[in-house]
Amino acid sequence: MKENLSMAEETQDFNPEEFRKAIKKTVDAHRGKLSEEEVKLQEQALIDIFENGMLPAQALGFDVNFMDYVYKFAYTLYQKNEIEEASQLYRWLKVMVPIDQKYTIALAHCYIQQKNWLAAVAMLMELGVLNPEDPLPFEKMCDCLIEAKDYASALMAIEQAIKRAADKQEYMLDKEKWLMTYDYLLSQLEIDPAIIEKVKAENESITHVKNSER
């Protein structure tokens, strides 16, 4: 709470004019052989992003058709097993349009192919947060964490997948497999399932008491 208050106090001193001067200074420092017109375009793009809330792609003038072209080209590279080249384009697309989940999904697939398990987990976690009822990102996350031999984190991931699946009919077959994975991870960690159930029961009891006190 104190940190939040501190941040709020710092932002009260924000001066738009000073901010624009900082942008100009940054662009000038990296202008290279850019013309005056190109420098002004860069400055305006940064202002549009940071002050006006535009997506980088919009601020830099990249339209939907161009972004789709780059996406399709990246997918062609991916199909040719040129994973590193594809991932570079997907990373650029994600920077340009951070809110488009298909770029996050594509990047996760690249990281999985590269066996960059923790980077893949970061992408999957983002998808899990953006889709709060979808268990599938956590299933994939669990697979990555098992490959990374982080069984404790994998256990938490598959538990979240099971929790999200609940009694939904479309996940019934998947849930059976996830429960088997859950038992496998318990055995890897040498945890007695009875202890897990006891902890869950105690947590549910505490939650019930807190809810009744409200």
Domain range for 50: 15-54
Q: Do 209 and 162 fall into the same domain?
A: yes
Residue 113's contacts (CB-CB under 8 Å, 6 or more residues apart) are 78, 83
Q: Do 48 and 80 fall into the same domain?
A: no
User: Does residue 7 lie within any of the structural domains?
Assistant: no
Q: Do 110 and 166 fall into the same domain?
A: no
pLDDT at 60: 82
Q: Do 157 and 212 fall into the same domain?
A: yes
User: Does residue 76 lie within any of the structural domains?
Assistant: yes
User: Does residue 210 lie within any of the structural domains?
Assistant: yes
Q: Do 104 and 165 fall into the same domain?
A: no
pLDDT at 34: 62
Q: Do 62 and 48 fall into the same domain?
A: no
Other Cβ atoms closer than 10 A to 188: 14
Q: Do 26 and 84 fall into the same domain?
A: no
User: Does residue 130 lie within any of the structural domains?
Assistant: no
Q: Do 34 and 96 fall into the same domain?
A: no
Say how far apart CA 195 and CA 186 lie, in whole Å. 11
User: Does residue 2 lie within any of the structural domains?
Assistant: no
Domain boundary residue, one of 25, 54, 83: 54
Q: Do 190 and 207 fall into the same domain?
A: yes
What tens digit of pLDDT does each residue of 44-55 get? 766 766 676 678
User: Does residue 89 lie within any of the structural domains?
Assistant: yes
Residue 91: closest CA among 63, 70, 117: 70
What total number of domains does the chain contain?
A: 3
198 or 182: whose pLDDT is higher? 182
Stated pTM of the model? 0.73
Q: Do 170 and 212 fall into the same domain?
A: yes
Q: How many CA atoms lie within 13 A of 123 on its CB side?
A: 25
DSSP 155: H
Say how far apart CA 137 and CA 126 lie, in whole Å. 9
Average pLDDT score over residue span 199-205: 63
What tens digit of pLDDT does each residue of 56-112 get? 888 888 889 999 999 999 999 999 999 999 999 999 999 999 999 999 999 999 999
Q: Confidence class of residue 5 from pLDDT cuts 50, 70 and 90?
A: very low
Q: Do 166 and 214 fall into the same domain?
A: yes
What tens digit of pLDDT does each residue of 165-184 get? 999 999 999 999 999 999 99
Q: Do 66 and 33 fall into the same domain?
A: no
